[in-house]
């Protein structure tokens, strides 16, 4: 990947004599050497992607300031990566490539978009956003638009993998979207993306199996640590950030972006207690396993129980057994996904129109109800309306988010410094090792 | 006469295949393990030149593999699962291979076809089938309840080590039986007849003639199943998904799957490969000794 000289990590380029000896010595010793000898000339934290800026404020990859709900960040526009001009005609013909999670967009909508603009719309799936970004960076894929997450936004902006938007082409952003996400804290002015879905993290369970009144517990997350009776049927999300954040929140630590090793390690130690309590499992298929009675209690996203209700109920009666709880505003994480236009697109105007298309009330609603199950942040969608239409049972009303759950006092798992990211990943690895 | 290069040239496609599909990708993993990380995108920057290798990730990972290190528990568990699963394959597979090689006459071809039948269905599908069979309302639980062996459904899929090992045995046993069968089938019956003529009982003839002569097939089958078992992550995910049953491959998967340290995933991979090379070395040595003994 092309890199600006200023962005080169320390040690890039010329070597000191010591570095040369260390590296060539290491190469000669190879694997057969003892780790202690190797450690003498090692550098395992050389990913110098920035941990603190010129001042004392921590910065993320690319040296961009770390956005938080109470710390709004306006991302830079680079001279060699500017938005397209207004008033251009959309490109037609050929293939329009959407880079996305598998099964995360309604195929009928893609067909409709393709028909409208005379293009063949194709979805290229990725397993997870990190591997998606790696593929974008390597040039292995050249999509027109990509799914993105706010905690990865600064990486792809600094890496110039996505291009800034010209919002003249996306009037639905102002017209239909929750005000808080028209100009979100992580991208003031929506320069690089528009919101796609919103969700919050909490607990999901079946009332026929789990007898405790979880919402009435002083700390509902404690249910995991009191779930001996449900051993083998209890699971956490298979997500580094979500899992450790839950253990932090349980102990009253509200900073879900902390980089304090003591806090993170203590949270991991708490999670490890769950081995003996309930032989805890990890996975992200709770939308299916809970309605199918294969799991009884799960850490879950709000969209999971909506998906469960829309598509995975073995019978209608099961829908009434499903429950979801999430912490009140400012006490539990909320997240959103986004759409961005790829830097290398050959159809930039059409890519903008795609973003606008997905923010159309009718299309976003159709995507939500007919396929995705994850809610778009539209003014038009309200929990009571979904209940009154019979789409979800009243007991799952709290799965539907409202605009007032966002704001400076909300919690969102956001970009960490590279050292912080490593700390969290190593903690999760420790938990996963059993 | 044929030119001297003709016969070696037959190996060329295989060599090219190995270089393109094994050596180059493996060197890419080595390059990642000894390389760096892009400071912006946190993607690996492979170090192709050994003189530029950064050994920090590998040395850190090695130290975490030692007793008390982060990976020690998972290393021990993986060894335990592989050893027990290999033992299970021997216990089940050896009699099957022996029967087909020595005693099945008319049914031999049919049995061989049955042995390769699992290869017609993908590993994923076979594991998914077991997930359904072992589910609380699956056939296995229903049968056991019908037979009054259990009163309530047993949680086979609730994070049990035994289920993971069972799945490993089930998944890999055909790979064990086939080379073992080939080895047993090649044993000259006259050796056994000589042993019996000299007064050896059937069991002594087996222990002193058949078993030693099938050693290469036995080791070959074990190598064939043990190597992929060490890197397993998919089977424990499918039938358990509990951290208490995770294997070494799950750690590799975690670090490669995303996050800021793909280098650790690569380091774990080459350390595992180095360990497997030792196993392979023992296998090669055994083969060498066995062929020397046969020649004598």
Domain residue spans of chain A: 26-46+64-197+338-387, 199-332+413-433
State whether A39 and B274 contact (CB < 8 Å): no
Selected residue of B243, B267, B275 to mutate for chain A interface (largest A Cβ count, 10 A):
B243
State whether A425 and B259 contact (CB < 8 Å): yes
Confidence of residue A15 (pLDDT cuts 50, 70, 90): very low
Establish if B38 touches chain A: CB-CB under 8 angstroms: yes
Confidence of residue A162 (pLDDT cuts 50, 70, 90): very high
Mean pLDDT of all residues in B209-226: 93
Question: What was the pLDDT predicted at A390?
Answer: 81
Cβ A372 vs Cβ A105: under 8 Å: yes
Q: Which of B38, B25, B33 is nearest to B52 (CA)?
A: B33
Cβ B270 vs Cβ A31: under 8 Å: yes
Q: Does the pLDDT value for residue B75 go beyond 50?
A: yes
Establish if B59 touches chain A: CB-CB under 8 angstroms: yes
Establish if B50 touches chain A: CB-CB under 8 angstroms: yes
Question: What was the pLDDT predicted at B190?
Answer: 93
Mean pLDDT of all residues in A59-74: 90
Cβ A354 vs Cβ A145: under 8 Å: yes
Question: For all residues of chain A together, what is the average pLDDT?
Answer: 87
Counts of helices then strands in chain A (DSSP H, E): 16, 10
Bridge partners for A204 per DSSP: A298, A324
Mean pLDDT of all residues in B141-147: 96
Question: What was the pLDDT predicted at A76?
Answer: 95
Confidence of residue A41 (pLDDT cuts 50, 70, 90): very low
Question: What was the pLDDT predicted at A388?
Answer: 85
A23-40 tens-digit pLDDT = 433 333 333 333 333 333
- The proportion of chain A whose per-residue pLDDT surpasses 90, expressed as a percent, equals 71
CB nearest to B62's CB, from A35, A127, A294: A35
State whether A61 and B39 contact (CB < 8 Å): yes
Chain A residues within 8 A of B59 when measuring between CB atoms: 35, 38-39, 42, 44
Question: What was the pLDDT predicted at B21?
Answer: 92
Confidence of residue A73 (pLDDT cuts 50, 70, 90): very high
Q: Does the pLDDT value for residue A9 go beyond 80?
A: no
- A8 to chain B: closest CA residue: B39
State whether A49 and B259 contact (CB < 8 Å): no
Question: What was the pLDDT predicted at A102?
Answer: 87
State whether B270 and A233 contact (CB < 8 Å): no
CA distance B111 to B107: 6
CB nearest to B59's CB, from A35, A127, A293: A35
Q: What is the CA radius of gyration of chain B?
A: 23
Mean pLDDT of all residues in B23-31: 95
Chain B residues within 8 A of A425 when measuring between CB atoms: 254-255, 259-261
B235-259 tens-digit pLDDT = 999 999 999 999 999 999 999 887 8
Chain B: closest CA distance from residue A139 (Å)? 13
Mean pLDDT of all residues in A247-275: 97
- Residue B186: how many other CB atoms lie within 10 Å: 12
Cβ A90 vs Cβ A353: under 8 Å: yes
Which residue's entry shows tokens 């020397």?
A: B292
Mapping DSSP to helix (H, G, I), strand (E, B) and coil, where does residue A432 land? helix
State whether A283 and B241 contact (CB < 8 Å): yes
Q: Judge whether A26-46+64-197+338-387 and A199-332+413-433 match in fold.
A: yes
Which residue's entry shows tokens 């949270």?
A: A267
Tokens standing for B271? 């350390």
**Per-residue CA distances from A98 to A126, B205, B214 (Å):** 11, 67, 56
Question: What was the pLDDT predicted at A314?
Answer: 87
Question: What was the pLDDT predicted at A27?
Answer: 34
- What CATH architecture applies to the domain A199-332+413-433? 3-Layer(aba) Sandwich (3.40)
Confidence of residue A127 (pLDDT cuts 50, 70, 90): confident
Chain B residues within 8 A of A59 when measuring between CB atoms: none
Question: What was the pLDDT predicted at A55?
Answer: 52
Question: What was the pLDDT predicted at A2?
Answer: 34
Cβ B29 vs Cβ B270: under 8 Å: yes
Q: Does the pLDDT value for residue A89 go beyond 90?
A: yes
Domain spanning A26-46+64-197+338-387: which superfamily? Periplasmic binding protein-like II (3.40.190.10)
Q: Does the pLDDT value for residue A318 go beyond 60?
A: yes
A192-210 tens-digit pLDDT = 999 999 999 999 999 999 9
- Cα B72 → chain centroid: 21
Mean pLDDT of all residues in B97-103: 94
Chain B residues within 8 A of A49 when measuring between CB atoms: 37-40, 42
State whether B55 and A42 contact (CB < 8 Å): yes
Q: Does the pLDDT value for residue B55 go beyond 70?
A: yes
Q: Does the pLDDT value for residue A50 go beyond 70?
A: no
Cβ A407 vs Cβ A69: under 8 Å: yes
Question: What was the pLDDT predicted at B138?
Answer: 94
Chain B: closest CA distance from residue A280 (Å)? 6
Question: For all residues of chain B together, what is the average pLDDT?
Answer: 93
Chain B: closest CA distance from residue A134 (Å)? 6
Kindly give the pairing relationship between strand A95-100 and strand A120-125. Answer: parallel
């Amino acid at each position: 990947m092309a890199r600006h000289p200023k962005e080169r990590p320390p040690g890039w380029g010329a070597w000191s004599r010591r570095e040369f000896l260390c590296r060539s010595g290491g190469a000669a010793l190879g694997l057969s050497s003892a780790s202690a000898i190797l450690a003498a000339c090692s550098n395992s934290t050389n990913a110098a992607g920035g941990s603190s800026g010129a001042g004392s404020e921590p910065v993320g990859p690319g040296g961009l300031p770390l956005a938080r709900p109470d710390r709004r960040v306006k991302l830079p526009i680079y001279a060699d990566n500017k938005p397209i001009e207004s008033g251009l005609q959309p490109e037609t013909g050929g293939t329009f490539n959407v880079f996305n999670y598998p099964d995360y967009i309604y195929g009928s909508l893609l067909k409709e978009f393709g028909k409208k603009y005379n293009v063949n719309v194709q979805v290229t799936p990725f397993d997870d956003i990190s591997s998606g970004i790696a593929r974008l960076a390597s040039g292995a894929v050249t999509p027109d638009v990509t799914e993105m997450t706010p905690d990865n936004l600064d990486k792809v902006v600094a890496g110039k993998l996505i291009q800034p938007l010209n919002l003249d082409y996306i009037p639905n952003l102002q017209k239909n979207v929750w005000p808080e996400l028209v100009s979100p804290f992580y991208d003031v002015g929506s320069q690089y993306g528009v919101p796609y879905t919103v969700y919050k993290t909490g607990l999901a369970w079946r009332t026929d199996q789990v007898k405790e009144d979880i919402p009435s517990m002083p700390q509902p997350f404690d249910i995991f640590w009191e779930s001996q009776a449900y051993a083998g049927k209890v699971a956490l999300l298979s997500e580094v950030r979500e899992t450790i954040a839950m253990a932090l929140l349980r102990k009253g630590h509200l900073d879900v972006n902390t980089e304090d090793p003591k806090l993170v390690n203590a949270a991991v130690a708490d999670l490890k207690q769950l081995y003996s309590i309930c032989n805890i499992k990890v996975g992200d298929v709770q939308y299916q396993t809970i309605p199918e009675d294969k799991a009884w209690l799960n850490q879950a996203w709000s969209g999971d129980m909506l998906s469960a209700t829309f598509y995975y109920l073995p019978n209608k009666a099961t829908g009434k057994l499903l429950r979801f709880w999430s912490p009140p505003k400012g006490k539990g994480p909320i997240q959103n996904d986004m759409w961005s236009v790829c830097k290398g697109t050959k159809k930039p105007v059409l890519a903008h129109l795609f973003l606008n298309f997905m923010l159309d009330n009718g299309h976003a609603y159709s995507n939500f109800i007919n396929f995705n199950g994850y809610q778009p942040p539209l003014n038009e969608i309200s929990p009571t309306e979904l209940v009154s239409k019979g789409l979800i049972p009243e007991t799952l009303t709290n799965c539907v988010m409202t605009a007032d759950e966002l704001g400076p006092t909300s919690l969102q798992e956001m970009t960490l410094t590279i050292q912080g990211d490593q700390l969290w990943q190593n903690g999760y690895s420790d938990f996963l090792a059993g | 006469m044929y030119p001297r290069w003709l016969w070696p040239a037959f190996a060329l496609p295989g060599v090219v295949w190995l270089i393109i599909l094994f050596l180059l990708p493996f060197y890419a993993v080595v390059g990642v393990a000894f390389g760096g990380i892009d400071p912006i995108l946190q993607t690996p920057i492979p170090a192709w030149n050994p003189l530029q290798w950064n050994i920090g990730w590998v040395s850190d990972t090695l130290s975490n593999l030692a007793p008390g290190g982060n990976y020690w528990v998972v290393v021990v568990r993986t060894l335990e699962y592989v050893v027990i699963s290999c033992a299970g394959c021997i216990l089940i597979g050896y009699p099957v291979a022996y029967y087909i090689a020595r005693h099945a006459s008319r049914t031999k071809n049919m049995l061989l076809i049955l042995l390769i039948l699992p290869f017609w269905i993908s590993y994923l599908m076979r594991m998914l089938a077991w997930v359904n069979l072992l589910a609380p309302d699956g056939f296995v639980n229903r049968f056991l309840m019908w037979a009054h062996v259990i009163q309530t459904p047993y949680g086979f899929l609730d994070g049990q080590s035994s289920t993971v090992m069972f799945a490993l045995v089930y998944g890999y046993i055909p790979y064990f039986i086939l080379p073992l069968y080939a080895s047993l089938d090649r044993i000259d019956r006259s050796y056994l007849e000589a042993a019996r003529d000299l007064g050896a009982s059937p069991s002594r003839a087996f222990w002193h003639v058949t078993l030693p002569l099938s050693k290469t097939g036995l080791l070959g089958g074990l190598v064939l199943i043990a190597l992929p078992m060490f890197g397993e992550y998919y089977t424990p995910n499918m039938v358990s998904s509990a951290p208490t049953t995770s294997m070494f491959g799950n750690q590799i998967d975690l670090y490669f799957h995303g996050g800021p340290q793909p280098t650790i995933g690569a380091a774990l991979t080459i350390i595992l490969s180095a360990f497997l090379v030792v196993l392979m070395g023992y296998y090669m040595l055994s083969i060498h000794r066995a062929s020397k003994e046969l020649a004598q």
